[in-house]
Chain A
Amino acid sequence: MSETPHRAGPEWSWALNAGRAVTLVVLAAATVALAAPEHRLLAVGALAISLCGSAFGLRHGPDQWIQRLVGLALFAAGGVTLLAVDGRAPGWLACGVAIIAGLARLPARAGLLFAGTVIVVTCLAPLARDDAEDVPMMAAICGAALVVALVVSGSRNRAVTAEQLLEAEQSARESAAERDRLAERQRIAREIHDILAHTLSAQTVQLEGARLLLDRGAAPADVRERIVVAQRMARDGLEQTRRAVQSLRGDARPLVEVLRVLAADADAKFVESGTPWPLAPPAALTVERTVQEGLTNARKYAPGATVTVTVTYAQDALRVEVRDTGSAVPPEAPPSGGYGLTGMRERAALLGADLQTGPDETGPAGKGYRICLTLPRSGPSASSSPTTSAWSATASS
């Protein structure tokens, strides 16, 4: 920012000061050399006033324009005095510089007023020594000074516009970064809520149930069941937390990779299609658990069957299917109704997903089993948390 032409940074300030010093020395030398010998003392006095005014004005920043105005007025007064007394001394130079500096360094209205006054006084100054012939020359010098001032102000305006554009761009970048930070924070807050708040409150309810059962002398098996459920929820919450942390760190394994490994470990075929999109950790975990449960069921109830895991990322939904060709001998118990399938169905419902399970009539032998989970990409529950408990109980006393 400080490198823009009109606001020299510290690295350029010494050059500016040196330039000013050289100008003043040249002005002083010219004044002394050119002024008539009888005016030399007065010329040096006028020059001294100019120098003091210039030094005073330069010490003040843009906010202190009145001090700048005073300094410039003193500077111009020295020049006008020289002009009024001696036609040869370069008083016109100080007047010209004062006009340029006034227009460039003062607020617009004050600058115009100051420059106008200096122009009038400069043009009239030769009349003080009865030299009307110098008036057109002074008017020309003032005109030249105005042209220089216009050029300087034009380049300054361009620089200011460039600086404003840069500032606007910077501020837009900063607000976009701030927006991203806020969105990221909200995502983290949502994930913490979805995982921890849900699993912890569910455990609280289960443990409260276990305590009530104990208080009322219930059978140990009933109490144990509640504790086992609470324990399973704690493990589940821990696993989801681990995955959420992995995902936030950006080192979570892609779901497709996880499913491919699961299928390979179970000697199942793996078919994938479509372009994967990122899933929230609870959703990814649900898909993984569904496939795991499907593979376990297939091994248990259809030993020796060919099992295929199909993952399809369609435009609007992710579909995951575990299909087996059925065992040579009918299984002793049907796979439906076990806790695994019930748990899977509950998980799916929480995500607004659909879980279809049942005999696979379309298979080659027509005796296989099929589990199919369809997870909408932006279902009705997309705006709400995917793992909050979906339940309500109606009661009458």
Chain B
Amino acid sequence: MVRDGIQLMLSLVGGVDVVALAADGEEAVAAVVAHDPDVVLMDLRMPNCDGATATRRIRAEHPRTQVVVLTTFADDADVLDALRAGARGYLTKDAGV
């Protein structure tokens, strides 16, 4: 539901093409390999492979692709993990466009 909403918002902003959607970290890494995007918007808590792990893998294997973390709360300890893993920055989910 969040993902669909974000996709809609990005499509309405203009200048941004959403090239892929992923349900977990594994899918996100696979989507980066397939589409070579400029930016990945990454959730933190996901089944199978969490956001920090996926961020580390994407930054190591595809340094060209930047990762921005999306989180519910800015003071979430996991945000720091993701930033250490190479995320460029973070946005909270209540941020408006």
- Which of A's residues lie within 8 Å of B, judged by CB? 193, 197-198, 201-202, 204-206, 208-209, 212-213, 216, 226, 229, 233, 346, 349-352, 379-381, 384-385, 388-397
Expressed in whole angstroms, the Cα–Cα distance for A395 and B47 within the complex equals 21
Partner of A390, one of B24, B31, B73: B24
- Nearest CB of chain B from residue A379's CB, rounded to whole Å: 7
- Which B residues, 70 to 97, have Cβ-Cβ distances below 8 Å to chain A? 72-73, 93-94, 96-97
Residues of B near A346 (CB, < 8 A) are 1
Chain B: CB-nearest residue to A204: B94
Partner of B43, one of A229, A352, A391, A396: A391
Chain B interface, DSSP helix/strand/loop, else mixed: mixed
Residues of B near A394 (CB, < 8 A) are 18-22, 28, 31-32, 35, 37, 39-41
Chain A: CB-nearest residue to B51: A392
Known contacts: A204-B94, A205-B93, A212-B97. The answer to whether A393 contacts B8 by CB under 8 A is: no
Interface centre among A346, A350, A380, A392 (most CB of B within 10 A): A392
- Nearest CB of chain B from residue A155's CB, rounded to whole Å: 55
Cβ contact within 8 Å between B5 and A395: no
Chosen A-B contacts, 6 in total, with CB atoms closer than 8 Å, are A351-B47, A380-B48, A391-B43, A392-B3, A395-B39, A395-B40
Known contacts: A205-B5, A209-B8, A212-B12. The answer to whether A391 contacts B20 by CB under 8 A is: no
Residues of B near A202 (CB, < 8 A) are 1-2, 5, 93
Partner of A397, one of B1, B2, B21, B38: B38
Cβ contact within 8 Å between B38 and A396: yes
Cβ contact within 8 Å between B41 and A352: no
The 3 closest A-B pairs by CB, nearest first: A391-B3, A205-B5, A201-B93
Partner of A201, one of B8, B10, B54, B94: B94
Cβ contact within 8 Å between B93 and A213: no
Known contacts: A208-B9, A349-B23, A397-B38. The answer to whether A392 contacts B16 by CB under 8 A is: no
Residues of A near B6 (CB, < 8 A) are 205, 391, 393
- Nearest CB of chain A from residue B78's CB, rounded to whole Å: 9
Cβ contact within 8 Å between A396 and B17: yes
- Nearest CB of chain A from residue B11's CB, rounded to whole Å: 9
Residues of A near B15 (CB, < 8 A) are 397
- Nearest CB of chain B from residue A280's CB, rounded to whole Å: 14
- Nearest CB of chain A from residue B91's CB, rounded to whole Å: 11
Expressed in whole angstroms, the Cα–Cα distance for A172 and B18 within the complex equals 57
Known contacts: A212-B97, A349-B47, A384-B50. The answer to whether A389 contacts B1 by CB under 8 A is: yes
- Which B residues, 38 to 67, have Cβ-Cβ distances below 8 Å to chain A? 38-48, 50-51, 54
Chain B: CB-nearest residue to A393: B41
Interface centre among B23, B35, B39, B73 (most CB of A within 10 A): B23
Query: Given A379-B47, A391-B2, A392-B43, list of 10 further CB < 8 A pairs?
Result: A201-B72, A384-B47, A388-B45, A389-B1, A391-B21, A391-B43, A393-B3, A393-B10, A393-B41, A396-B17
Expressed in whole angstroms, the Cα–Cα distance for A135 and B94 within the complex equals 96
- Nearest CB of chain B from residue A356's CB, rounded to whole Å: 16
Cβ contact within 8 Å between B94 and A392: no
Known contacts: A392-B28, A395-B16, A397-B15. The answer to whether A385 contacts B2 by CB under 8 A is: no
Known contacts: A204-B94, A391-B23. The answer to whether A352 contacts B1 by CB under 8 A is: no
Known contacts: A396-B35, A396-B38, A397-B17. The answer to whether A352 contacts B8 by CB under 8 A is: no
Residues of A near B32 (CB, < 8 A) are 394
- Nearest CB of chain A from residue B16's CB, rounded to whole Å: 5
Expressed in whole angstroms, the Cα–Cα distance for A142 and B33 within the complex equals 94
Expressed in whole angstroms, the Cα–Cα distance for A41 and B23 within the complex equals 104
- Nearest CB of chain A from residue B57's CB, rounded to whole Å: 12
Cβ contact within 8 Å between A384 and B39: no
Cβ contact within 8 Å between B22 and A391: yes
Expressed in whole angstroms, the Cα–Cα distance for A226 and B11 within the complex equals 14
- Nearest CB of chain B from residue A385's CB, rounded to whole Å: 5
Cβ contact within 8 Å between B54 and A392: yes
Partner of A380, one of B20, B31, B47: B47
